[in-house]
Amino acid sequence: MNGATARRRGRPPRTESADTRGRILTAAREEFSERGYDKASMRGIAKAAGVDPALVHHYFGTKEQVFEAAVEVAFAPALKVRDAILESPLDDVGERLTRTLLGLWENPVTRTPLLAIVRSAVNNETAAAVFRRLVSAQLLRRIASELDVPDAELRAELAAAQLVGVAMMRYVIKIEPLASADPEQIIARVAPVVQGHLTNP
């Protein structure tokens, strides 16, 4: 193999960059979902993406940075709807937030990467730190900034804890009857609690 070939393997042309990054992130989400953070490897991600391991390091750096990038992509739908939710009056934000996040978990396309994130965060402190950093910076603080109440950040965290707890019990641990309950029934029960955390005196 000559030097030019080696460079082509390690650094693809700019036109291929977006596609290559996308393949790596897709492979990373699947690897973290199936194997968890501890057992997932850069080599395994590269193999699943069909690229040289050097490319994974080139685009993302360390395994922690690959995980963080995969988390950001997985959270993208939630972050997109976050602003739409908060642009409306806050008197029914609990239902809108609960319905939106539950909808992400109900959709198989978005559920898979969310499962990867939660499972990895539960079992590994590095992954948990990434998860906390992203949730705190991009979700909770944004919600808290819209609340005209005392202890806004604490309230936002309690609301998030309520929703993450439901997701854990329903989609990860799969405890019955919650696991097979109708989503509308869950929304009806949980949304008022979330609303209370966010806006009640």
Residue 39's nearest CA partner among 111, 123, 131 is: 123
Q: What is the pLDDT of residues 172-183, one digit of tens each?
A: 899 999 999 999
Q: How many H-runs (helices) and E-runs (strands) does the chain carry?
A: 11, 0
Give the residue, 199 or 8, on which the prediction is more confident: 199
Q: Give dist(CA 135, CA 109) in Å, integer.
A: 20
Residue 156's nearest CA partner among 134, 178, 141, 166 is: 141
Reduced to 3 states (helix: H, G, I; strand: E, B; else coil), residue 16 is helix
- Per-residue pLDDT band for 119 (boundaries 50, 70, 90) equals confident
Question: Residue 120 is encoded by which pair of tokens?
Answer: 């990895």
- Per-residue pLDDT band for 16 (boundaries 50, 70, 90) equals low
Q: Which residue has the tokens 């950001």?
A: 72
Residue 148 carries which DSSP code?
Answer: -
Q: What is the pLDDT of residues 63-102, one digit of tens each?
A: 888 888 887 777 777 667 666 666 777 788 889 889 988 9
pLDDT for 5? 42
Q: What is the pLDDT of residues 52-74, one digit of tens each?
A: 999 999 999 898 888 888 877 77
pLDDT for 97? 86
Q: What is the pLDDT of residues 121-133, one digit of tens each?
A: 887 888 888 777 7
- Residue 39 pLDDT > 80, yes or no? yes
pLDDT for 186? 97
Give the amino acid at 21: R
- Residue 200 pLDDT > 60, yes or no? yes
- Per-residue pLDDT band for 7 (boundaries 50, 70, 90) equals very low
How much of the chain exceeds pLDDT 70, in percent?
86
pLDDT for 179? 95
pLDDT for 84? 65
Assess whether the previous peptide bond of 177 is cis (omega < 30° from 0): yes
For residues 101-122, give the mean pLDDT.
81
How much of the chain exceeds pLDDT 90, in percent?
21
